[in-house]
């Protein structure tokens, strides 16, 4: 069987025979893969002109709903991918990380749409005043890039590696070309075939290359984005391609690194943290046969606990049954292929020149349900490096398999230095019940790590563990780890957006951003905004209220109702040395009175007060001062119906500007109201 490529809106067989792909368990050939005959330039043009145009016209809300629909579709069909995953050497647990984890990332990014406007672009940050009178301001907007995301993925997670990347670029409004590692691309192809068949994504928003993508970077432009997951050596080679440099193409690299885990000095045998540490190291050594970019390669342990830890971990590793993932009781499958086994063996032999093997055997181990010679099997291997400052191979050589090395340390400063000798890692962890130790370690090691997990009994039940990147947190690391960041919630989405500074009058920028900018023209209408439905309200629409003169009785009555008897409000004799000239009105009285002035009390489309985003009390209000309110429609955020019975509605943000008799602002806030729509479909 020959794998197909999806390009230019159709499934295409590559020319020639292609590279043979093998079952990692029994060594039998599964398929052939080749991309020969594909025109990468045409594929990129197709993505930009077809998928890109359609995605850019969609709002963040629409893109998020699209991703949610895709996640639901794949979740419904996920069971069909597990048998295929087993052929990569993955156990059911390994496959769950890849398949369910990838689909879970789609769900996470679908939910992230709620942090973006119902627009095709994003307004970033606050406006900047650029003139004395406020007639000239600046702001930032972010728009989808007009290129294509090229994802060059690693072999260890054929599904998660694709979905965790495309979830982000699709939400941003950018199409993708996915190039999975050839050796496990048959699993990626199976899922992409279902994605295309579903019809959920606009045509041109996703293309697939099964086979070599050599030469694709010759076609990039400054609007494209390249992401790479794999070895640091390959990543550096790709990053230095002439077109990447000349076009200043963003290149996000997530490279394999020498991640570490530290046993805190307080986590002695008998403590929950010691047991958690042993469990975590065992899990990271055996999950996916250690073929994880986040796997623990260096185990940094207090020198007086090395023997206790070595014995405890050896006992746990001895329970690890190696073999066919389809056989009940097997806890570790095979590496992705025999080439990977040979690479790991070669790296282990290099490490053993200065380290000793304290658990496992390169040749003598049992395999359940399979022939050891046919499959890509390897035993968990635990090494010991007693002198990690003199023998630094442990900080430079990575065996990308079920291999870890114990490193002793004397003090916490010692542990931090050893951790940082990895020259940049995706992640590290520390097991400690002492928060002071945790703080000292984190602040010392954060410079060299993209993520740090603090593991203790309190967090253990819900902790996702050392090796699990989370969709809303960045995944990447400095130095050897590549210097890139993936996912990261909104941060990841912005990687695919172009930030542009815009300058002009507040009125002009209000029109451009569709968010009211202070100082812009306000429009008074004969009908109060609380009498209007969501669709009828216009940005900049303003109501100017009646006024109220604040009295001492107001202050006393509010203190009685609220229970707030702070001296500045109630004791005029205590004001010496303060900024106040006399008893001052409560800030929340000013805001409450403002609401009393601007609220239209009759029943109407406004369903409820949804909350308060921003509030500042900028000038004291004393008895005798007169306040009024300008209530302006600042922004409108559409909301989706949760069910057929749900009320169709949206959130309207109002700018509340409370001013005094001199016209100066005394308080300013943004309130949110939930407003019913006219159209209930």
Residue 610: what pLDDT?
87
Task: For residues 110 and 248, state if they share a domain.
Answer: yes
Residues 6+ apart with CB under 8 A from 343: 400
Task: For residues 290 and 142, state if they share a domain.
Answer: no
Evaluate whether residue 331 is within a structural domain. Answer: yes
Task: For residues 106 and 210, state if they share a domain.
Answer: yes
CB atoms within 10 A of CB 91: 25
Evaluate whether residue 476 is within a structural domain. Answer: no
Q: How does pLDDT run across 456-496, given as a tens digit for each residue?
A: 999 888 888 888 888 888 888 898 888 888 888 899 999 99
Evaluate whether residue 39 is within a structural domain. Answer: yes
Helix, strand, or coil here: 189?
Answer: helix
Q: Using the predicted structure, report yes or no on whether residue 681 has a pLDDT greater than 80.
A: no
Evaluate whether residue 70 is within a structural domain. Answer: yes
H or E element in which residue 458 lies: helix 457-460
Residue 679: what pLDDT?
81
CB atoms within 10 A of CB 203: 14
Output the pTM of the full model: 0.88
Task: For residues 40 and 183, state if they share a domain.
Answer: yes
CA-closest candidate to residue 298, choices 409, 432, 457, 378? 409
Beta strand 665-676 with 606-617 is: antiparallel
Cβ(631)–Cβ(647) below 8 Å: no
Evaluate whether residue 42 is within a structural domain. Answer: yes
Task: For residues 453 and 558, state if they share a domain.
Answer: no
What percent of the chain is predicted at pLDDT more than 90? 77
Q: What is the average per-residue pLDDT within 532-557? A: 94
Calpha distance 203→38 (Å, rounded): 18
Evaluate whether residue 64 is within a structural domain. Answer: yes
Catalytic residue check, 293: yes
Q: Using the predicted structure, report yes or no on whether residue 1 has a pLDDT greater than 90.
A: no
Evaluate whether residue 139 is within a structural domain. Answer: yes
Tokens for 472, please give them: 């809303």
Choose, from 210, 260, 289, 293, the residue flagged as catalytic.
Answer: 293
Choose, from 164, 189, 254, 280, the residue flagged as catalytic.
Answer: 254
What percent of the chain is predicted at pLDDT more than 70? 100
- Listed ranges 167-181, 224-238, 240-254; the one with the highest mean pLDDT: 167-181
Q: Using the predicted structure, report yes or no on whether residue 404 has a pLDDT greater than 90.
A: yes
CATH code of the domain containing 241: 3.40.605.10
* H-only helix segments in 352-452: 412-420, 435-445
Task: For residues 12 and 151, state if they share a domain.
Answer: yes
Residue 474: what pLDDT?
86
**φ and ψ at residue 138, rounded to 5 degrees:** -130, 155
Calpha distance 12→2 (Å, rounded): 10
Residue 299: what pLDDT?
97
Task: For residues 267 and 233, state if they share a domain.
Answer: no
Tell me which of 14-18, 20-24, 303-307, 440-444 is least confident.
14-18
Q: What is the average per-residue pLDDT within 23-51? A: 92
CATH code of the domain containing 435: 3.40.309.10
Task: For residues 235 and 287, state if they share a domain.
Answer: no
Tokens for 581, please give them: 């000239």
H or E element in which residue 82 lies: helix 82-86
SS3 for 208-273, per residue?
ECCCCCCCHHHHCCCCCEEEEEECHHHHHHHHCCHHHHHCCCCEEEEECCCCEEEECCCCCCCCHH
Task: For residues 224 and 324, state if they share a domain.
Answer: no
Q: What is the average per-residue pLDDT within 355-381? A: 92
Tokens for 672, please give them: 């949110």
Residues 6+ apart with CB under 8 A from 675: 532, 533, 534, 537, 605, 606, 607, 649, 650, 651, 652
Calpha distance 108→75 (Å, rounded): 13
Please give the residue range of the domain that contains residue 539. Answer: 522-676
Evaluate whether residue 278 is within a structural domain. Answer: yes
Helix 435-445 × helix 412-420 angle, to 10°? 30
* H-only helix segments in 112-231: 160-172, 185-198
CA-closest candidate to residue 244, choices 222, 228, 229? 222
What value does the mean pLDDT of the chain take? 92
Cβ(493)–Cβ(113) below 8 Å: no
CATH code of the domain containing 575: 3.10.129.10
The residue ranking higher by pLDDT, 465 or 208, is 208
Confidence of residue 590 (pLDDT cuts 50, 70, 90): very high
Confidence of residue 414 (pLDDT cuts 50, 70, 90): very high
Calpha distance 184→188 (Å, rounded): 7
Q: How many residues does the chain have?
A: 681
Tell me which of 31-35, 215-219, 230-234, 272-276 is least confident.
230-234
Cβ(136)–Cβ(213) below 8 Å: no
- Tell the burial category of 663 from Cβ atoms under 10 Å away from its Cβ (0-12, 13-18, 19+): exposed
Residues 6+ apart with CB under 8 A from 288: 90, 94, 97, 156, 157, 295
Task: For residues 237 and 268, state if they share a domain.
Answer: no
**φ and ψ at residue 623, rounded to 5 degrees:** -55, 135
Task: For residues 178 and 159, state if they share a domain.
Answer: yes
Catalytic residue check, 254: yes
Cβ(144)–Cβ(496) below 8 Å: yes
Task: For residues 134 and 244, state if they share a domain.
Answer: yes
Q: How does pLDDT run across 81-137, given as a tens digit for each residue?
A: 999 999 999 999 999 899 999 999 999 999 999 889 889 999 998 899 999 888 999
| Tally of domains in the chain | 3
């Amino acid at each position: 069987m020959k794998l197909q490529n999806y390009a230019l809106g159709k499934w295409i067989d590559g020319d020639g025979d292609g590279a043979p792909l093998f079952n990692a368990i029994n060594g039998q050939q599964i398929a052939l893969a080749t991309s020969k005959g594909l025109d990468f330039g045409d594929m990129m043009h197709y993505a930009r002109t077809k998928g890109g145009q359609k995605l850019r016209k969609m709002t963040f809300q629409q893109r998020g709903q699209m991703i949610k629909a895709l996640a639901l579709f794949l979740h419904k069909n996920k069971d069909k991918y597990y048998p295929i995953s087993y052929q990569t050497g993955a156990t059911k647990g390994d496959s769950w990380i890849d398949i369910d984890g990838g689909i879970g990332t789609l769900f996470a990014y679908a939910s992230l749409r709620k942090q973006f406007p119902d627009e095709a672009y994003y307004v970033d940050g606050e406006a900047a005043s650029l003139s004395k009178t406020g007639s000239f301001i600046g702001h930032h907007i972010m728009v989808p890039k007009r290129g294509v995301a090229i994802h060059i993925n690693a072999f260890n997670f054929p599904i998660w590696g694709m979905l965790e990347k495309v979830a982000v670029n699709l939400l941003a409004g950018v199409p993708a070309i996915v190039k999975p590692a050839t050796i496990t691309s048959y699993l990626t192809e199976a899922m992409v075939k279902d994605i295309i068949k579903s019809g959920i994504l606009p045509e041109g928003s996703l293309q697939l290359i099964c086979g070599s993508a050599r030469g694709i970077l010759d076609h990039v432009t400054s609007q494209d984005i390249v992401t790479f997951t794999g070895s640091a050596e390959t990543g550096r080679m790709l990053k230095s391609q002439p077109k990447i440099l000349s076009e200043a193409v963003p290149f996000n690299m997530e490279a394999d690194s020498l991640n570490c885990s530290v046993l805190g000095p307080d986590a002695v045998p008998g403590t929950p943290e010691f047991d958690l540490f042993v469990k975590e190291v065992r899990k990271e050594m055996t999950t996916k046969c250690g073929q994880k970019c986040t796997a623990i390669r260096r185990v940094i342990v207090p020198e007086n606990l090395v023997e206790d830890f070595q014995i405890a971990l050896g006992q746990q590793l001895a329970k690890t049954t190696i073999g066919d993932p389809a056989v009940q009781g097997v806890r570790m499958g095979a590496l992705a292929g025999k080439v990977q086994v040979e690479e790991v063996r070669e790296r282990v032999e290099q490490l053993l020149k200065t380290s000793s093997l304290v658990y496992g055997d390169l040749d003598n181990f049992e395999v359940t349900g399979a022939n050891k010679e046919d499959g890509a099997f390897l035993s968990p291997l635990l090494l010991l490096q007693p002198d990690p400052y003199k023998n630094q191979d442990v900080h430079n050589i990575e065996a990308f398999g079920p291999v870890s090395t114990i490193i002793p340390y004397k003090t916490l400063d010692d542990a931090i230095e050893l951790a940082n000798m990895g020259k940049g890692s995706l992640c590290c962890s520390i097991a400690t019940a002492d928060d002071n130790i945790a703080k000292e370690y984190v602040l010392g090691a954060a410079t060299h790590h993209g993520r740090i997990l603090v593991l203790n009994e309190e967090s253990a039940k819900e902790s996702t563990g050392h090796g699990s990147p989370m969709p809303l947190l960045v995944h990447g690391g400095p130095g050897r780890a590549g210097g890139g960041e993936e996912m990261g919630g909104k941060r990841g989405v912005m990687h695919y957006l172009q930030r542009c500074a815009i300058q002009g009058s507040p009125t002009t920028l209000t029109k451009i951003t569709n968010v009211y900018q202070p100082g812009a023209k306000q429009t008074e209408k004969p009908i109060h905004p609380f009498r209007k439905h969501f669709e009828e309200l216009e940005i900049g629409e303003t109501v100017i209220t009646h006024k109220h003169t604040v009295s001492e009785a107001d202050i006393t009555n509010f203190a009685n109702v609220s229970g707030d008897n702070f001296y500045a409000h109630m004791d005029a004799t205590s004001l010496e040395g303060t900024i106040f000239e006399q008893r001052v009105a409560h800030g929340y009285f000013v805001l409450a009175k403002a609401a009393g002035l601007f609220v239209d009390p009759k029943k109407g489309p406004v369903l409820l007060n949804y909350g308060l985003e921003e509030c500042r009390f900028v000038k004291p209000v004393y008895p005798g001062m007169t306040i009024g309110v300008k209530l302006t429609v600042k922004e409108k955020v559409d909301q989706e119906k949760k069910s057929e019975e749900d009320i169709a509605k949206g959130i309207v943000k109002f700018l509340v500007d409370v001013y005094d008799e001199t016209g100066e602002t005394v308080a300013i806030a943004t309130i949110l109201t939930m407003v019913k729509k006219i159209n209930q479909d």
